[in-house]
Amino acid sequence: MRRHVRRDLRLRMLKVAWFSADDRPLSPSEWTDPIKIGLNSGPIGKKRGLVSTEMSCVVWCRSDQTPYEVAETVAHEARHVWQLRQKAWTKPAPEAGASADDFLSTLQRWDRAREQDAEDYAEKLMPVAKEIARVVTPVRDGLRATQRAAWDALKRL
């Protein structure tokens, strides 16, 4: 999927990094790390992926997802990478004389539109995600090979 979205969205660089779901609260030193703050997903299963403005060429994916979910997450988050590079998707700034409520409302509309655009893009690529999942998910001993590799890697940490 990474190659597909790089080509489709004309992204020169796009990397995929992995994180594990964790309900553990952040330590005081972790609160200064913008990536760790973003990946602190709260309840296990809530956050599937992340793109951070600090590392805008990296798509973070939760490691316990199925191959289909990973492909879908990469498509969704890659669209956010693309949005960061588009003037039309620039985060709105407060306007002089506007109330805080008006600005908050504008920011919420922008965020909903941004998420909807990313969801629409991932949905458009569903056939690609399904094909990737079909090709990379041989079942062995009740676990898919990719899940087994992820689980084995996590155990080594």
CA distance 5 to 9: 6
User: What would the pLDDT profile of 79-101 be if each residue is shown by its tens digit?
Assistant: 999 999 999 999 988 887 888 89
Q: Name the 3-class secondary structure at 37.
A: helix
CA distances from 61 to 64, 69, 106 (A): 9, 9, 29
Q: Name the 3-class secondary structure at 98.
A: coil
Residue 140 has pLDDT above 60, yes or no: no
Domain ranges in the chain are 2-156
Does the pTM of the predicted model rise above 0.85?
Answer: no
Q: Name the 3-class secondary structure at 103.
A: helix
Mean pLDDT along residues 129-137: 80
Extract the tokens encoding 125. 């690529």
Task: Enter the DSSP assignment of 157.
Answer: -
Residue 117 has pLDDT above 50, yes or no: yes
Full strand arrangement of the beta sheet holding 55-62: 15-19, 55-62, 49-52
User: What pLDDT, on a 0 to 100 scale, did the predictor assign at position 108?
Assistant: 93
Residue 157 has pLDDT above 50, yes or no: no
Average confidence score pLDDT of the chain: 82
User: What pLDDT, on a 0 to 100 scale, did the predictor assign at position 7?
Assistant: 93
Mean pLDDT along residues 4-13: 92
User: What pLDDT, on a 0 to 100 scale, did the predictor assign at position 43?
Assistant: 56
Poorest-pLDDT segment among 65-74, 94-103, 120-129 = 94-103
Poorest-pLDDT segment among 33-42, 75-84, 104-113 = 33-42
User: What pLDDT, on a 0 to 100 scale, did the predictor assign at position 85?
Assistant: 93
Strand partners, 50: 60
Do the Cβ atoms of 94 and 103 come closer than 8 Å?
A: yes
